[in-house]
A and B are shown apart, each in its own frame.
Chain A
Amino acid sequence: MSAGGELLLAIDTSSGTSVAVVRGERVGGRRVLSEATELDTMKHAEVIGLLIERALAEAGVVVSELTGVVAGMGPGPFTGLRVGIAAARAFALGADVPLRSVVSHDALAFSQAQAGVTGDLLVVTDARRREVYWSLYRLAANQGAPVRVDGPGLAKPDALPHPHALALEAAEDSSRVSAGSLGLVALELLTSGGEFAGDQALYLRSPDVTLSAGAKRVTQ
């Protein structure tokens, strides 16, 4: 590992399960060394360990070489989202390296920016229960980490804010968050001194509970 370089394990389970190893050199740029993904959105807990193992092996990286772990903080369906965050936190704890938190939508916006998209981009992903998560980005050429100007938020699909923006819809392909992109965003933020996300999972919804109104009568 060259001095001044970063070697990060990135984990995102806001959609499927995606794990990547990314390298950032002071000279020589940034690249994704490996990415292992499972698209099934019901298998996060089963595959998380296997994908971490595979991503490390394919990158030819051992744990002691890593300089940090990146967790995708969502937004995303709760149960799956927590799997990646829990694994990332525990991995960072066991490897004794820092944990960086990144908004998962940033990875989707970053991929679009890399593909040459500029202007206002509204990232929209499935939130289940007929709602979507959204984030608004203002993308410019050669910008580094994508600039989020609003969101993430939760809305009905027909009540999305920012109708003028180019919408990156929750279509199957576009809603798959890539841990490789997430890791690259983290490298951009480390280089630029940009701000990482907060360390709380982005649920954007309260737990679904109603307050009990005391005991219900059993006799009519």
Chain B
Amino acid sequence: MTDATERPEPAPREPVVLGIETSCDETGIGIVRGTTLLANAIASSMDEHARYGGVVPEIAARAHLEALAPTIHSALAEARLGWSDIDAIAVTCGPGLSGALMVGVAAAKGLALATGKPLYAVNHLVGHVGVDLVTPDSEPLEYPTIALLVSGGHTSLLLVRDLVSDVELLGETIDDAAGEAFDKVARVLGLPYPGGPHIDRVAVGGNPKAIRFPRGLSLPKDMAAHRYDFSFSGLKTAVARWVEARRDRGEEFSAADVAASFREAVADVLLTKALAACADLQVPRLLLGGGVVANARIRELAAERAAAAGVTLRIPPLELCTDNGAMIAALGAQLIMRGHAPSELGFGADSTLPVTDIQVNVSQ
């Protein structure tokens, strides 16, 4: 509570920001104070998508509408704060599923107007990088850094020279996101959604070199045009063909070997390209983000390859790698601390918001 006898305060050096994230199937509300994480409340509609084998946009959007208010309550309770303690609101306006994004955008505008707080409309992918700043007990993020963001919705390689003013897209998937490939291969193997954890489980004890599955966009001719881009559609098809051929011949095969070999192909291509970017651009820092980072082999191979290349590797805790509101609050807080003006109210949801648009509709 602000005491009426207090002197008017300047813009807070460590603003308390509430972040709203609804770009995919997680309703995330996070609260940070500067670079300190105060709350990270998440409601997920993942279970409702399970029987469809992937995220159904309309189901995700409906779930966001119902989860928003309870999740905001949880976050405020977790941080032990009331509206008078909040300095600003930040919201993901893209990229993501447009119907899902719109729920968060509309709620953020309603909240900002009701509470009189400034509103920051920010980029989801840049949020994945910004979350590293609120990771408890971590050293400040150094720039420039390469960021590899891998989830069911995106697979992007970024060069971050400055979190709030200079982010460049080096490459991204030209077809499926890496997380989608995990889901599809899981289906081929008869495993449930989401595929990542199940592939990980089945891969235990499997030989990652048993089957040489293709590494998308890694041939010399592809590397010329798509050095930092990814493709997982061919890999998924290759796994399906391999499995179907064995099944058609009535041949036994090791699901563990298939899962391990597939996972190896994904991890290999992700990290080969990420470390190529580190080497080419002479950036000895790599940050991972996105839900697919939960995959044990990807983390393990990242640690091996980064160490071998003399690259410092940062992986935020898993609950901050998956989509969440804290990452949006963290980015909002950085924008405020660097003196950026709020967003004007007329922005919409942009499902393909480019990564160079760190904040949209900045007031003049």
Contacts and interface: CB of A to CB of B under 8 A. Distances in A.
Contact of A46 (B62, B190, B346): B346
Contact of A44 (B69, B83, B106, B237): B106
A82 B240 contact: no
B113 A52 contact: yes
Contact of A45 (B52, B102, B245): B102
B68 A219 contact: no
Contacts of B190: 214-215
B213 to A, nearest CB: 14
B240 A86 contact: no
B111 A201 contact: no
Contact of A82 (B53, B102, B187): B102
Contacts of B237: 218
Given A82-B106, A86-B68, A50 B52 contact: no
Contacts of B348: 43, 45-46
Interface string A91-118: 1111110000000000000000000000
Contacts of B346: 46-47, 49-50
Q: How large is the interface on B (under 10, 10 to 19, 20 to 34, 35 or more residues)?
A: 35 or more
A208 B314 CA distance: 40
Interface in B70-126: 72, 83, 98-99, 101-116, 119
Nearest to A56: B113
Nearest to A205: B58
Contacts of A94: 83, 110-115
B353 interface: no
A215 to B, nearest CB: 4
Nearest to B56: A209
Most chain B CB atoms below 10 A, which of A84, A87, A212:
A87
A137 interface: no
A207 B186 CA distance: 24
Interface in A176-219: 201, 203, 207-209, 211-212, 214-215, 217-219
A85 B348 CA distance: 16
A207 B111 contact: no
Contact of B52 (A44, A211, A215, A217): A211
Given A207-B56, A215-B240, A91 B102 contact: no
B64 to A, nearest CB: 8
Given A44-B106, A90-B108, A85 B65 contact: yes
A49 B114 contact: no
Nearest to B188: A215
B352 to A, nearest CB: 15
A215 B187 contact: yes
Contact of A83 (B68, B72, B102): B102
Interface in A24-51: 43-50
B61 interface: yes
Given A49-B112, A91-B114, A94-B115, A209 B106 contact: no
Given A49-B345, A209-B58, A86 B110 contact: yes
Interface string B158-199: 000000000000000000000000001001101000000000
B347 interface: yes
Contacts of A139: none
B59 interface: yes
Given A63-B113, A93-B111, A207-B59, A48 B106 contact: yes
Contacts of B113: 49, 52-53, 56, 63, 91, 94
B241 A219 contact: yes
A216 to B, nearest CB: 8
B112 A209 contact: no
A90 B114 contact: yes
B106 A84 contact: yes
B114 A93 contact: yes
B244 A219 contact: yes
| A-B pairs, 10 with minimum CB distance | A94-B114, A49-B109, A90-B110, A49-B345, A91-B110, A87-B110, A207-B58, A90-B107, A95-B114, A86-B106
Interface of B: 51-53, 56, 58-59, 61-62, 64-65, 68-69, 72, 83, 98-99, 101-116, 119, 184, 187-188, 190, 237, 240-241, 244-245, 248, 345-349
Interface of A: 43-50, 52-53, 56, 63, 78-79, 82-96, 201, 203, 207-209, 211-212, 214-215, 217-219
5 contacts: A52-B110, A82-B106, A91-B114, A93-B69, A94-B115
Given A49-B112, A90-B69, 11 more contacts: A46-B346, A49-B109, A49-B346, A86-B65, A91-B113, A94-B111, A94-B113, A96-B83, A208-B58, A217-B240, A218-B240
